[in-house]
Structure 1
Amino acid sequence: MLRSVLRLHKAVATPLASPFRAAARLHTVPELPYTVSSGVTPLLSPAALKVIYSDHQTGLVNRLNELIAGTPYDDKLYYEVLMDSARSLNETQIFNNASQAWNNDFFLRSLSSTPAAMSDALSKRIAESFGNVEVFKREFTTSALGLFGSGWTWLVEDKDGRLVLLNTYNAGSPHHRRRMQREDETSTDHDLASGAQNPYSGASKFSAPAKLMANNSYIPILCVSMWEHAYMTDYGITREGRQQYLDNFFKTVDWSVVEGRVFRAGGF
């Protein structure tokens, strides 16, 4: 099992560490609500999902465990590692691996081969910000295709409950204004109130405890990976291939999952 492999890996890498301490806070790759062997039809073939999840995600978590072994981080929850390392420019490697793994999990957890349709309530909420759902999809796709290099395109809620689009580059995260890695390299003062709810409760081992949401800049609602490894296996590297990847992305978004992440301004 993956947990056993990762425990052995950490024990070998840090032979002087207490095995009880190492096992207690060891980060593992959360299981998805679908199997790699089934893929996510029509977006990701089993081969593509293996690259994204089995190979890339496992590598990120393994590397993170190596980086935090023997540091104060190895007693922290996953989301604490992400947020605390975001505040320090001296811990970029820790942040990059933590943020990239979180982003990847969030992306994959939004997908389904049998997705729930968008509810009228969510459709209305999107229309309030974009005019209608088709305009939103078109602007989201245009934003994703406009990424020059690797990154993520997000639908997020701002502090006033508005739904907006955001691109982050590399391992950039919407969770912290210092680490968005936006193209314009600008920051924002949008922060959550200290009593904010937790939209990730029970979602996965990467979930954020509600008390830790206080320093966020935006609430992520939906994202798509525009890293080359996410689309090259099935679609190649052309713009036409990436367009098809994004078209299929919207065919596999589970809108019930997305709706469960919307909670600001009274939710609906």
Structure 2
Amino acid sequence: MLRSVLRLQKVIRSPAVSSVRATARLHAVPSLPYEVSAGVKPLLSPAALNIIYTDHQTGLVNRLNELIAGTPYEDKLFYEVLMDSARSLNETQIFNNASQAWNNDFFLRSLSSTPSPMSDALSKRIAASFGSVEVFKREFTTNALGLFGSGWTWLVEDKDGRLVLLNTYNAGSPHHRRRMQRNDETATEHDFASQAQNPYSGVSKFSAPAKLRANNSYVPILCISMWEHAYLTDYGVTREGRQRYLDNFFKTVDWNVVESRVFRAGGF
């Protein structure tokens, strides 16, 4: 199921193509379901989306191709590269580029300028975990605003089908326990309770607690990029700008896409 979420596609190489050219096309960035030249209104202007998708995403994939050329990773599917490098602490550069590209693609494919509204089924599912959709959006925003530095805020599904929030830093991935790249890996339950009192700490009572992270079994449902390049062009560097970025994010989430990612025992 997780592999089906990944959209970065394998390119078939022709024997007639030179080895240098073939190496550069091990993986390619596929088209998005909308035009980059139009942006994603009201969240991302064309200029901002061009940076995120054309410049940043292409750079990540090209660098990954360079790193895996001539290695056992060269003929693996993209998700296999991500997970196999996550298991090896000696493959940090490969993991960082693969994970960041996966995260970026996942984020962009959640968006639409004409998004589908949230269904009653998904609304009830979110309410079962957070109390209401409004509380979910508030807590998701709190986590994202409290993320100090570059990273991602996620809505994930745990092994029991519960929906919880998760922040990962840099290229951190919810797919593997070793590579979540949290700043609270040694936090206790008491630490989480005290941090939740600070509305800008990035941790709320709905955040995934440390004991759940050990199950190595999160399924990503939704995420937002809190990397500076994602919001700087349109919103600047202030906290107020990031707040507007998050407000507009919820205006462009395609909830049909989000719903298609929910599949565990606690699903529909």
Q: Which runs of 5+ in 2 are unaligned?
A: 1-8, 187-209
Residue aligning to 2:107: 107
The AA in structure 1 aligned to 2:79 is: Y
Letter in 2 for 1:45: S
Alignment match, 1:130: 130
Other-structure match for 2:75 = 75
Q: Tell me the residue number matched to 2:167.
A: 167
Report deviation, 1:189. 2.5
Task: Please tell me the residue identity of whatever aligns with 1:80.
Answer: E
- Determine helix, strand or coil for the equivalent of 2:173: coil
- 2:39 aligned partner, one-letter code: G
- What is aligned with 1:208? none
Residue 121 of structure 2 aligns with an amino acid whose one-letter code is A
The residue identity in structure 1 corresponding to 2:165 is: L
- Answer with 105-114 or 258-267: which moved more: 258-267
Q: Give the aligned partner of residue 151 of structure 2.
A: 151
SS at 1:72 equivalent: coil
| Aligned sequence identity (%) | 84
Q: 2:140 — aligned with what?
A: 140
DSSP-derived class of the 1:89 partner: coil
Q: Does 1:190 align with 2:252?
A: no
Q: CA deviation at 1:30?
A: 1.6
Query: How many Å separate the matches in 2 of 1:37 and 1:152?
Result: 25
| Alpha-carbon distance between aligned partners in 2 of 1:163 and 1:89, rounded to the nearest angstrom | 29
Compute the TM-score of the two structures, normalised by the length of structure 1.
Answer: 0.82
Within 5 Å, give how 1:3-82 maps onto structure 2: 15=20, 22=23, 26-82=26-82
Q: Return the alpha-carbon distance in structure 2 between the equivalents of residues 104 and 175 of structure 1.
A: 14
Give distance in 1, aligned partners of 2:76 and 2:52. Answer: 25
Equivalence for 2:252: 252
Distance (whole Å) between structure 1 residues aligned to residue 125 and residue 67 of structure 2: 41
Shift in Å, 1:266: 5.5
Alignment partners' CA distance in 2, 1:35 and 1:55: 15
1:31 positional shift: 1.0
Distance 2:52 2:185 in 1: 27
Per the alignment, in what secondary structure is the counterpart of residue 110 of structure 1? coil
**Matched residues, number:** 230
The residue identity in structure 2 corresponding to 1:242 is: R
SS at match of 2:90: coil
Cα separation, partners in 2 of 1:83 and 1:160, compared to 1, 3 Å = same
Matched to 1:190, the amino acid is: N
**Structure 1: 5+ residue stretches without partners:** 192-216
1:181 corresponds in structure 2 to: 181
Q: Classify the secondary structure of the residue corresponding to 1:265.
A: coil
The RMSD of aligned alpha carbons is 1.9
1:232 aligns with 2:232: yes
Contact 2:125 2:267 in 1 (8 A): no
2: CA distance, partners of 1:69 / 1:79: 16
Q: Distance in 2 between matches of 1:83 and 1:31?
A: 23
Which residue of structure 2 aligns with residue 118 of structure 1? 118
